[in-house]
Amino acid sequence: MLSTKLTALIVDDEHSGRSSLKILLNKNCFYLFEKIVTASSLNEAIKIVADESFNVCFLDIQLNNQSGFDLVPYLSSKTKIIFVTAYSEYAIKAIKDKAFDYLLKPLNPVEFKICMSRFEKEVLGNGAVKKYLQIKEQGATMPIILDEIEFLEAEGAYSKIHLVKKKEYVTAKTLKSMTDMLGNDFIRIHKSYTVNKMMIQSYKKDSLTTIHNTCLPVSRVGAKELSLHF
């Protein structure tokens, strides 16, 4: 996938907090970020932001005996601040400090995905940056625009990519790995199918129709996934 060259800063005094958030970002949003930087203290974070600005800062509030709120004046006005904390009582102050979002620990993966989907749309805008999937076919690298993918179909250890232009490509990756790679705009609706959210015309508990009138099956797990997005 071609990088959109965004940068993220994670500020948390606990190693587990930094590592778990970095894992979530790498799993769900790896195509968004060129660099993810971590800081374990307020002072370390202040030094980092003095030399570099970030698109987003994931900020813990209680940093040993200091407050994450004290970092806010040092951040660029363009940095989206997402507070990540175990304490709900700071939500009002976070809103006053123009927080983009406020996530409670332990992080809920679904809430995290929704937050990052909003972030992506707000930062990149509609159509501001074209995102690509790169696959290998017969030794050549094929860049595929994500917006042109209608759905993906499992074929054993391979995946077939169906484009809106009725072209098809087969890649030597499982549907699970492809779904993880593609991010929040794609939904696994069945063990054999992952669909582009923008290509959904309608769906029922056991089937889905794309805007090009392709009918796909929906499993019970897939129906739950759809309900989280719509």
Residue 89's Cβ-count burial label (10 Å; 0-12, 13-18, 19+) is: exposed
Which amino acid makes up residue 222? G
Residue 55's Cβ-count burial label (10 Å; 0-12, 13-18, 19+) is: buried
pLDDT at 53: 93
Which residue in 91, 18, 82 sits closest to 55, CA to CA? 82
pTM higher than 0.75, yes or no? Answer: no
Tell me which architecture the domain covering 6-124 has in CATH: 3-Layer(aba) Sandwich (3.40)
Note whether 6-124 and 137-229 share their fold. Answer: no
Alpha carbons 77 and 217: distance in angstroms, whole number: 46
Strands 33-39 and 6-11: parallel
- pLDDT-based confidence at residue 4 (cuts at 50, 70, 90): low
Tell me the three state secondary structure of residue 158.
strand
The Cα diameter of the chain in Å comes to 59
pLDDT at 2: 38
pLDDT at 80 over 70: yes
pLDDT at 125 over 80: no
Which residue in 189, 188, 230 sits closest to 207, CA to CA? 189
Tell me the three state secondary structure of residue 137.
strand
What are 148's two structure tokens?
Answer: 């042109």
pLDDT at 227 over 80: yes
What's the pLDDT tens digit per position in 136-149? 777 777 788 888 89
What's the pLDDT tens digit per position in 34-75? 899 999 999 999 999 999 999 999 999 999 989 999 999 999
Q: How many Cα atoms occupy the beta-carbon half-sphere of 118 within 13 Å?
A: 11
Tell me the three state secondary structure of residue 213.
coil
Domain boundaries defined on the chain: 6-124, 137-229
CATH 3.40.50.300 fits 137-229, yes or no: no
Between 35 and 135, whose confidence is greater? 35
